[in-house]
Amino acid sequence: MRPLAEFIMRGRMQAALVVVGATALPLLFWLGAAAGALVLLRRGLGDAMGVVAWGLLPALAWWYFGEPRALLVLLGTLALAVVLRATTSWTRVLLASVAVGVLYGVTLDAVFQEPIQALAKELQALLPQVLQGVQELGAEEQARLHSLLVPVLTGLLASLLQAGSLLALALGRWWQAALYNPGGFAREIREMRLPPAPMALLLAGMLLGPNLGVQLAMLTPLCSVPLAFAGAALLHGLVAQGRLARFWLVGLYVSLLIFMQLVYPLLVVLAIVDSLIDFRGRSARNNGAGPANGEG
């Protein structure tokens, strides 16, 4: 995909063409978001807005026809790109993604409330079959469980968009490193690690959110996304150090597609433990290429 990145960086017209074309095509909105992120990371917000403004047209058209993902992912990716360009810290980007995810959730709840409630009712009817212990709960516990369905479902949908925005930003950052500083993106990903304090905040959001309010239940899936990304980064770092074989990465991404419900929580647990222990060690972070932007 490097030739595409080179085409994007040839000029504003080429970049706008990619952003508009990818956003207009079904299921390729993430590519348009990544192209916009590349322009923003390299040239700044001013130049990026001139390009992304054209991409907003097809994104708004998709919104009009009931498809919100193109617009939300485009704007969310750009917001995260601003954070990455200003701080060059993936830790802050991961934390900022939770705020972006909350905005996604609020937007979905406000604009698409009826479809989400209809889906929640269907899930409510299936709960006794999926969770055998539901019928043994008291009336109050069952009512609380049912009241959590809508916010949790909203959070799950928002977390998918949150993860999509992070992946689009990662693609844009990889393009930037490939063009201007080969190896820089790999170094950033291998070093990605959540310090104990941010990890504790995310863990508290996952565990305590539903107890603080029904609507805050959406924080559980949203706070898990940064931890899962940090867990995947841990495996990349261990493979780079030679402490794990490369087939572990292949197995990770294949199993994520097949056994998401099992592998995803494992990545979250790995990130939590790594935050406390630091498996990769501090010395490994003193070597390697410079920042992926190629400017420092």
- pLDDT for residue 286: 47
131 has a pLDDT exceeding 80: no
Q: What are phi and psi of 281, to 5 degrees?
A: 80, 150
In the numeric block, the tokens 């980064």 are attached to 233
The arithmetic mean of pLDDT across residues 33-61, rounded, is: 93
CA 119, distance to chain mean position in Å, is 23
- pLDDT for residue 201: 95
- Percent of the chain beyond pLDDT 70? 88
- pLDDT for residue 241: 87
- Percent of the chain beyond pLDDT 90? 61
116 has a pLDDT exceeding 90: no
Query: With helix as H, strand as E and coil as C, how does 11-55 read?
Result: CHHHHHHHHHHHHHCCCCHHHHHHHHHHHHHHHCHHHHHHHHHHH
The arithmetic mean of pLDDT across residues 36-59, rounded, is: 93
CA distance to 24, 86, 94, 177, 233, per residue, from 187 (Å): 33, 18, 17, 10, 10
- pLDDT for residue 26: 85
pLDDT digits (tens, 9 = 90+) for 225-237: 999 999 999 999 9
User: How far is Cα 109 from Cα 30, in angstroms, rounded to an integer?
Assistant: 22
What tokens appear for 154 in the block?
A: 């909203």
Query: How does DSSP classify residue 241?
Result: T
User: How far is Cα 138 from Cα 247, in angstroms, rounded to an integer?
Assistant: 48
The arithmetic mean of pLDDT across residues 142-149, rounded, is: 72
Domain extents for the chain? 1-180, 195-291
